[in-house]
Amino acid sequence: MKLEFLTSGLRTTTQDSGRPGFTHIGVPVGGALDQAALHYANRLVGNPIYSPVLEITLTGPRIKCLESGQVASAGGDFKLVVNGQARAPNTAITLEAGDELSFEPSSAGCRTFLAVAGNWCVKRWLGSASALRVGSHELLPEAVWYKGNVLETYAFNVTPWPSPLLPPPRARRSILAYRGPEYHLLDPTSIAELFGKSITVVDPSNRMALRTDARLNLTSEKSESEMVSSGVQPGTVQVTHDGQAIVLMRDGQTIGGYPRVLQCTVSSLDHLAQLRVGDAFAFVLIDG
Amino acid sequence: MIKTDFHAVIRPFGEVGSLVDISAPTMDEACHTVMALNKMLLARRLSAIVSTTPSYSSLLVCFNPSLLGRAALHDLLQQLLNDLEQIDQPRGVTWEIPACFGGRYAPDRKQLEVALSTQWDVIVHRFCSIEFTVRAIGFVPGFTYLGGLPPDLHCTRMMTPRARVPASSIAIAGNQAGIYPFDSPGGWRILGRLPFAVFDTADEPPAIFSPGDQLRFKPVDETEFASLAEQPRENVISVSVAGQ
């Protein structure tokens, strides 16, 4: 099928399961921030679950269909609107040439993922079609969509799978986390602060990290200047010099010098991806 | 070759990560042990190892727990560490790299002369006499952290970071030296620039250096820099493997 972007939306990028295996040269794994939504949207249109999708943040693009085909979105409780009419969620939608597609965000999520049926012949870097922005540099510029761009997919010569998956659960506001390598540096007040009350996402938060209003104190056992940079992962919760807790996301840095007090579970990353600035959540500690 | 007395701690770091922390008499030895461990682990070519992040004195190993359990991974890491103790590990490759430390490529020359109470040519000569080790590549893709800066070249960061540090700048802050892969904001003090890119998405692999590599800088003047900058990178730098 063929789709033309009439507007780009806030930021619309190609994302897939990312490019694992390059953290030793500082390249984050990246990929769709909500992986369950990526899999489900692809399955709805009969694509392999790791196919690229469009990651749509808050304000979606307006898209015109040039050649018919199927699309489906998952994640963030966004509504798909075709020619001004809202469509039922969690189903594949057939677009005909001339149809216009737009998105209606909900307060329950931050990002939705639009699967487009067929084989995406898009540029890949290090095995992934995912956009990656470092400062003002786009490392894969072809993965960022602007007004006037056309996305074309090509038919697979396979029978699409039926869709046995259940839709991903609605974004959860409790985030499961293990103790991180420097958990022991938290003082008792900070532990109460971290688990006892709700935490709010604050600006600037993006694909690299979610910043929070949690303010934590670290015991002076090891001053921050003594900590040498060491590996971090998506879902690592670090405490900055001024005590702010930040949660690293899939485009986050690969090494860091701040104490790593928690490590969120892999599935919690999908839920974190749906938090908007101003949303509240809570950490739940897992023993083990 | 070095042989090191080190102590290793292996611990879980989330569901899909394990962290190996190495303590050794010096950071150089700890870093060398980390790089050797990483090399031995990667040589096993296990599909269960998703990625490894060596950095200074630690190695983060991300794995696929459905292919390899954590206990088995820790056993493997312990086995490799035991092997490491028994054999000398060769160092990584050594690069000789031209760099310009003059004119517009050294915007912090005056401040560094004052801060270090040393004349510029002495600073440059000293800097170029050091064999640096790549202790980590990261924070952003391709940022190259170099260990080995001697105490007489230690300096503080800038009070106000620059809005734009040009790509390929060599800069120092505290006891570290580093190379910026992209134009970016930064607070390290710039003392020179390389005539080539250290990270390019068109290259395979995109980063020219690897953690554990050794680097030695060779000063060139602005005219030579300009001519080197126009040549393909492989004509500009030379590399030797330890022991050859």
Specify if B161 maps to a domain: yes
- Residue A250 distance to chain B (closest CA, Å): 13
Dihedral over Cα of B138, B142, B143, B147: its sign? positive
Calpha distance A201→A211 (Å, rounded): 6
- Local structure of B79: helix, strand or coil: helix
B60, B183, B205 member nearest A25 (Cβ): B205
Q: pLDDT of A14-28, one tens digit each?
A: 999 999 999 999 999
Is B31 in the same domain as B69?
yes
Answer yes or no: do A25 and B201 touch at CB < 8 A: no
Q: Quote the tokens at residue A62.
A: 């307006």
DSSP character at residue B163: E
Answer yes or no: do B54 and A24 touch at CB < 8 A: yes
Is B26 in the same domain as B116?
no
Answer yes or no: do B207 and A26 touch at CB < 8 A: yes
Alpha-carbon distance values, B130 to B72, B123, B126, B198, B218 (Å) = 41, 11, 7, 19, 10
Calpha distance A42→A44 (Å, rounded): 5
Q: Pick from B86, B108, B128: which residue ends a domain?
A: B86
ipTM: 0.93
Q: How many A×B Cβ pairs under 8 Å?
A: 130
Q: What number is the average pLDDT over the span B50-72? A: 97
The pLDDT of residue B2 is 54
Q: Quote the tokens at residue A46.
A: 């009969």
Greatest Cα pair distance, chain A, in angstroms, is 65
Is B49 in the same domain as B148?
no
Is B33 in the same domain as B64?
yes
Report yes or no: A135 at the B interface, CB cutoff 8 Å: yes
Q: pLDDT of B93-151, one tens digit each?
A: 899 999 999 999 999 999 999 999 999 999 999 999 999 999 999 989 999 999 999 99
- First and final CA of chain A: distance in angstroms? 48
Specify if B2 maps to a domain: no
Q: Pick from B86, B108, B124: which residue ends a domain?
A: B86
Q: Which of B11, B18, B137, B144 to mutate to test the interface with A (most CBs of A within 10 A)?
A: B137
CATH 2.40.100.10 region(s) of chain A? 174-285
Does residue A45 contact residue A102 with C-beta atoms inside 8 Å? Answer: no
Q: pLDDT of A82-108, one tens digit each?
A: 999 999 888 899 999 999 999 999 888
CA atoms in the 13 A half-sphere facing the CB of A131: 21
Residue A224 has pLDDT above 50, yes or no: no
Is B76 in the same domain as B131?
no
> Measured between beta carbons, which residues in chain A are less than 8 angstroms from residue B183?
135, 137
Mean pLDDT estimate for chain A: 92
How much of chain A, in percent, has pLDDT values that exceed 70? 94
CATH of the domain at B112: 2.40.100.10
The helix (H) or strand (E) run that includes residue A191 is helix A188-196
The pLDDT of residue A159 is 65
Report yes or no: B168 at the A interface, CB cutoff 8 Å: no
Answer yes or no: do A233 and B13 touch at CB < 8 A: yes
Alpha-carbon distance values, A275 to A14, A29, A111, A206, A212 (Å) = 20, 20, 9, 10, 11
- Local structure of B227: helix, strand or coil: helix
Give B47-72 as a DSSP string: TTEEEEEEETTEEEEEE-TTTS-HHH
Specify the residue for token string 């919690």: A268
Give A240-277 as a DSSP string: -TT-EEEEE-TTS-SEESS-EEEEE-HHHHHHHTTPPT
Is B69 in the same domain as B171?
no
Answer yes or no: do A134 and B62 touch at CB < 8 A: no
**What is the number of structural domains in chain B?**
2
Specify if B178 maps to a domain: yes
Segments forming the whole domain that contains residue B34: 7-86
Is B115 in the same domain as B34?
no
Confidence bin at B21 (pLDDT 50/70/90): very high
CATH of the domain at B72: 3.30.1360.40
Q: Quote the tokens at residue B237.
A: 């730098």
Answer yes or no: do A24 and B59 touch at CB < 8 A: no
Does residue A121 contact residue A69 with C-beta atoms inside 8 Å? Answer: no
Residue B236 has pLDDT above 90, yes or no: no
Report yes or no: A144 at the B interface, CB cutoff 8 Å: no
Is B18 in the same domain as B131?
no
B182, B206, B211 member nearest A135 (Cβ): B182
The pLDDT of residue A265 is 97
Is B99 in the same domain as B82?
no
- Residue B120 distance to chain A (closest CA, Å): 29
Q: Quote the tokens at residue A122.
A: 């898009």
Specify the residue for token string 């492989």: B234
Tell me the one-letter amino acid at B16. Answer: V
Neighbour tally for A174: CB within 10 Å: 12
> Measured between beta carbons, which residues in chain A are less than 8 angstroms from residue B136?
229, 255
> Measured between beta carbons, which residues in chain A are less than 8 angstroms from residue B50?
20-21
Q: What number is the average pLDDT over the span A22-36? A: 97
Angle between helices B70-86 and B27-43 (to 10 degrees): 120
Answer yes or no: do B141 and A229 touch at CB < 8 A: no
Confidence bin at B244 (pLDDT 50/70/90): very low
Alpha helices, H only, chain B: 27-43, 70-86, 109-116, 120-128, 222-229, 233-236
Alpha-carbon distance values, B104 to B40, B108, B181, B188, B222 (Å) = 43, 9, 18, 16, 9
Q: pLDDT of B144-191, one tens digit each?
A: 999 999 999 999 888 888 989 999 999 999 889 999 999 988 889 999
Answer yes or no: do B199 and A25 touch at CB < 8 A: yes
- Residue A159 distance to chain B (closest CA, Å): 29
Let me know if domain A174-285 sits in CATH 1.20.1250.20: no
Answer yes or no: do A24 and B137 touch at CB < 8 A: yes
Q: What number is the average pLDDT over the span A214-222? A: 79
Dihedral over Cα of B116, B119, B121, B125: its sign? negative
Angle between helices B109-116 and B120-128 (to 10 degrees): 90
CA atoms in the 13 A half-sphere facing the CB of B118: 14
Q: Pick from B86, B110, B132: which residue ends a domain?
A: B86
Is B36 in the same domain as B70?
yes
Report yes or no: A83 at the B interface, CB cutoff 8 Å: no
Does residue B203 contact residue B23 with C-beta atoms inside 8 Å? Answer: no
Q: Find the residue in A nearest to B17 (Cα).
A: A233
Is B100 in the same domain as B220?
yes
Is B55 in the same domain as B159?
no
Strands B214-220 and B94-100: parallel
> Measured between beta carbons, which residues in chain B are less than 8 angstroms from residue A232?
60
Q: How many helices (H) and strands (E) does chain B have?
A: 6, 14
Tell me the one-letter amino acid at B95. Answer: W
Q: pLDDT of A242-251, one tens digit each?
A: 899 999 999 9
